[in-house]
């Protein structure tokens, strides 16, 4: 089973490295969106500091959503996906591996770039840790919930926008807890509660999302 | 006349009636086909 | 007939069709007097509220509609799950039949909530826990209907929407809790649209009557709609 995971993650990473621009554009989108808000609202430092956690988190949501289309599309197009569904490895493990690879390529870079955005918003230095941790816990959840949506909308024309409509309401708890943890820390309070809830969401989705993604894939491919 | 009460009740029952009307039209259409 | 067959007797669209018609008729005929009774109690029996005056009477629509919006979603998810588990066509049709009514009640809850808020607390919208959760519930309904409409193959559409409904149903308590937490933290104004006046018994009676009326209405509408679906799908 671990062999299957290693194989699939390795393959997805290798394929992604051959098309580095895809990852880069998603990251660039993240940075661009976060840069739009000061342009729209005005660069008042106190205001920016206040909205920073929310803006960074919303940008992370949108960026993850944009990259979700890539999750199954390429494999679906060349028939690999059917092979994976019919193959020997349990489909739940396969989709978990693909989602892990997806997170490594689109979620983890967000965690690493977020401090740069935080710098733009003049977020106080001590909060960088909480921000990074909240994103580290939250982005895998976004990948997993998003993967359910991606599997459900596989091959549908206009699927990208539909995917957004389906998945964004489900993202709300992650957004609230993620941004909330940083805001708590900014107010001088303990962010531990929200971070623990994020952790719980992570564990919960890791346990149940693979089932839903696998079920959705089978439905979409039959 | 409290416009808020009126606005609530009128819109609510209008929408429910609209749903019923549209449903009956749909019913007539599909029953006519069979 | 042994018990196993009896459970699935009405799972055939063909046998369910006449039953649905009967249920629709009965529920429709019950819904109307209940609604009239509810409105009577709501407007002519329940007293004027000490703080909110007459305008509180909107709750006789707002609260039952909100209850229905959540209840219908759960029932929809239930039928969806049943359809996935037993691969019965009719279950998927039931879920599809319920969705528009559920979405309608969600909208009514939001609309009446908004109109209640303006005279009582001075604003048409407030990001309080219940209204925000209702708004997200509306998005979940729309997502369900949009996904179903986007897939050409009806059986695939039923199953895909079913997965979505189940995922949504699991998420609804999580969403509600997180929005409630978010609301207590960001309590700018100490306003909660959910503060109904302290319930006199007659007020509660009015709400319950309207709730039952809405419930029977929903069943009747869903039954007619599922009959249409049975005919349309052949």
* Domain residue ranges in chain C: 14-233
| pLDDT digits 0-9 by tens, A185-197 | 998 888 888 999 9
**pLDDT mean across residues, chain C:** 87
Contact yes or no for A148 and C167 at CB 8 A: yes
The larger pLDDT score, comparing residue B19 to residue C54, is at B19
Chain B CB contacts of C224 under 8 Å are 23-24, 27
- Domain locations in chain B as residue ranges: 7-34
Q: Mutual orientation of helices A91-102 and A127-152 as an angle, nearest 10°? A: 130
Q: Do A114 and A59 meet the contact criterion of CB atoms below 8 Å apart?
A: no
pLDDT for A69: 85
Q: Do C147 and A152 meet the contact criterion of CB atoms below 8 Å apart?
A: yes
- Per-residue confidence band for C4, with pLDDT thresholds at 50, 70 and 90: low
Q: Does B2 touch chain C (CB under 8 A)?
A: yes
> Residue A43 in 3-state DSSP?
coil
Q: Does A198 touch chain C (CB under 8 A)?
A: no
Q: How far, in Å, CA of A215 to CA of A209, rounded?
A: 10
Q: Which residue of A has its CA nearest to C178?
A: A173
> To the nearest whole angstrom, how far is the Cα of A35 from the nearest Cα of chain C?
25
- Per-residue confidence band for B33, with pLDDT thresholds at 50, 70 and 90: confident
Q: How many contacts (CB atoms, under 8 Å) link A and C? A: 74
Q: How far, in Å, CA of A144 to CA of A163, rounded?
A: 13
What ipTM describes this predicted complex? 0.93
pLDDT for C187: 56
Q: How far, in Å, CA of A12 to CA of C87, rounded?
A: 34
Residue C197 has pLDDT above 70, yes or no: no
Q: Mutual orientation of helices B3-33 and C59-86 as an angle, nearest 10°? A: 30
> To the nearest whole angstrom, how far is the Cα of C226 from the nearest Cα of chain B?
10
Facing C58 at nearest CB: one of B5, B15, B19: B5
| pLDDT digits 0-9 by tens, C151-196 | 999 999 999 999 999 999 999 888 888 888 887 776 544 445 555 5
Q: How far, in Å, CA of A28 to CA of A63, rounded?
A: 9
Contact yes or no for C179 and A176 at CB 8 A: yes
Contact yes or no for B31 and C111 at CB 8 A: no
pLDDT for B1: 61
Chain B CB contacts of C61 under 8 Å are 8-9, 12
Contact yes or no for C111 and B11 at CB 8 A: yes
Contact yes or no for A212 and C167 at CB 8 A: yes
Q: Whole domain around residue A150: which residue ranges?
A: 2-221
pLDDT for C5: 67
Number of domains in chain A: 1
Contact yes or no for C231 and B30 at CB 8 A: yes
Q: Does B34 touch chain C (CB under 8 A)?
A: yes
Chain A CB contacts of C163 under 8 Å are 148, 152, 212, 215-216, 219
Chain C CB contacts of B30 under 8 Å are 228, 231-232
Q: Which of C73, C133, C160, C175 to mutate to test the interface with A (most CBs of A within 10 A)?
A: C160
Q: What angle do CA A157, A60, A186 make, to 5 degrees?
A: 155
Q: How many contacts (CB atoms, under 8 Å) link B and C? A: 56
pLDDT for C62: 92
Q: Does C225 touch chain B (CB under 8 A)?
A: yes
- Per-residue confidence band for C3, with pLDDT thresholds at 50, 70 and 90: low
- B and A touch per CB criterion (3+ pairs under 8 A): no
Contact yes or no for C225 and B23 at CB 8 A: yes
> To the nearest whole angstrom, how far is the Cα of C196 from the nearest Cα of chain A?
26
pLDDT by residue, tens only, chain A of 222 residues: 788 889 999 999 998 888 888 888 889 999 999 999 999 998 899 999 999 999 999 999 999 999 998 899 888 888 889 988 888 889 999 999 999 999 999 999 999 999 999 999 999 999 999 999 999 999 999 999 999 999 999 988 888 899 999 999 999 999 999 999 999 999 888 888 899 999 999 999 999 999 999 999 999 998
Q: How far, in Å, CA of A174 to CA of C171, rounded?
A: 11
Contact yes or no for B9 and C61 at CB 8 A: yes
Query: To the nearest whole percent, how much of chain C has pLDDT over 70?
Result: 91
Residue C58 has pLDDT above 50, yes or no: yes
CATH of domain C14-233: 1.20.120
> To the nearest whole angstrom, how far is the Cα of C60 from the nearest Cα of chain B?
9
Q: How far, in Å, CA of B25 to CA of C123, rounded?
A: 38
Q: Do A213 and A197 meet the contact criterion of CB atoms below 8 Å apart?
A: no
């Amino acid at each position: 089973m671990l062999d299957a995971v290693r194989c699939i993650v390795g393959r997805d990473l290798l394929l992604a490295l051959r098309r580095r621009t895809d990852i880069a554009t998603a990251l660039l989108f993240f940075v661009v969106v976060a840069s739009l808000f000061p342009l729209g609202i005005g660069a008042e430092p106190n205001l920016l500091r206040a909205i920073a956690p929310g803006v960074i988190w919303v940008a992370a949501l949108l960026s993850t959503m944009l990259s979700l289309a890539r999750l199954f599309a390429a494999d679906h197009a060349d028939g690999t996906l059917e092979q994976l569904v019919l193959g020997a490895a349990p489909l739940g493990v396969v989709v978990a591996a693909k989602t892990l690879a997806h997170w490594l390529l689109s979620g983890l870079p967000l965690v690493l770039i977020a401090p740069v955005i935080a710098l733009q918003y003049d977020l106080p230095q001590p909060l960088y840790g909480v921000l990074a941790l909240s994103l580290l816990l939250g982005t895998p959840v976004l990948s997993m919930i998003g993967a359910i949506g991606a599997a459900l909308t596989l091959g549908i024309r206009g699927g990208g926008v539909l995917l957004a409509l389906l998945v964004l309401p489900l993202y709300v708890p992650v957004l609230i807890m993620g941004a909330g943890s940083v805001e708590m820390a900014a107010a001088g309070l303990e962010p531990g509660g929200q971070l623990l809830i994020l952790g719980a969401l992570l564990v919960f989705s890791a346990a149940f999302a693979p089932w839903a993604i696998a079920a959705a894939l089978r439905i979409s491919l039959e | 006349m409290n416009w808020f009460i009126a606005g609530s009740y009128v819109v609510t029952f209008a929408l429910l009636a609209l749903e019923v009307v549209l449903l009956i039209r749909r019913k007539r259409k599909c029953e006519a086909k069979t | 007939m042994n018990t196993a067959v009896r459970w699935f007797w009405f799972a055939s669209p063909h046998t369910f069709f006449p039953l649905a018609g009967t249920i629709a008729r009965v529920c429709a005929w019950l819904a109307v007097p209940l609604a009239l009774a509810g409105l009577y109690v709501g407007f002519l029996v329940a007293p004027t509220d000490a703080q909110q005056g007459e305008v509180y009477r909107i709750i006789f629509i707002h609260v039952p509609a909100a209850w229905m919006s959540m209840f219908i979603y759960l029932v929809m998810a239930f039928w969806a799950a049943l359809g996935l588990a037993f691969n019965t066509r009719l279950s998927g049709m039931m879920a599809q039949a319920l969705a528009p009514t559920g979405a309608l009640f969600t909208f009514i809850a939001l609309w009446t909530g908004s109109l209640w808020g303006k005279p009582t607390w001075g604003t048409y919208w407030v990001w309080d826990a219940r209204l925000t959760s209702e708004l997200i519930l509306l998005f979940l309904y729309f997502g369900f209907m949009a996904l179903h409409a986007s897939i050409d193959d009806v059986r695939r559409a039923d199953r895909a929407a079913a997965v979505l409904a189940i995922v949504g149903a699991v998420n609804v308590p999580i969403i509600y809790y997180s929005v409630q937490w978010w609301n207590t933290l960001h309590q700018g104004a100490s306003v909660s649209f959910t503060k109904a006046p302290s319930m006199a018994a007659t007020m509660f009676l009015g709400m319950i009557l309207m709730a039952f009326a809405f419930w029977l209405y929903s069943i009747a509408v869903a039954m007619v709609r599922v009959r249409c679906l049975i005919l349309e799908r052949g």
